[in-house]
Amino acid sequence: MLTAATIILSTLLVISLYFIAKLARTVFRFEDRIESALDHIDQSYRVIGEILERPLFYDSPEVREVHNRIAEINNSLLSIAYDLANVEKEEDQETEE
């Protein structure tokens, strides 16, 4: 009886370890994708910041609207990067405690 229970529990342990490893690989891939996306966002943020620094020479409402939209996108990108960085900092603080 004890041997059967040991075999069943060992089998369940192996199955759970398989799914834990699979989940860990998924989390690591997701983390790599987020880091890659943050790098692209950082590059875009720099380029958009440079564009926003340039003075407008054409006083068209359409040009001003595009400029305003770029400023909104710039703020959104900054907010996303800030939120993702805060999640990482919170995780680091939890592991230290």
Q: DSSP for 15-38? A: HHHHHHHHHHHHHHHHHHHHHHHH
Q: Which long-range contacts (CB under 8 A, 24 or more apart) does 18-24 make?
A: none
The widest CA-to-CA distance across the chain, in whole angstroms, is 86
pLDDT in tens, 12-58: 999 999 999 999 998 888 888 877 877 777 777 787 777 777 776 77
Whether 18 maps to a domain, the answer reads no
pLDDT in tens, 40-52: 777 777 877 777 7
Whether 84 maps to a domain, the answer reads yes
Whether 34 maps to a domain, the answer reads yes
Give the model's pLDDT for residue 76: 81
Q: What percent of the chain has pLDDT over 90?
A: 20
Per the CB < 8 A criterion, the answer to whether 77 and 41 are in contact is: yes
Domain containing 59 equals 30-96
Q: What angle do CA 22, 96, 82 make, to 5 degrees?
A: 75
Please, what is the average pLDDT of the chain?
A: 80
Name the domain count of the chain.
1
Give the model's pLDDT for residue 87: 66
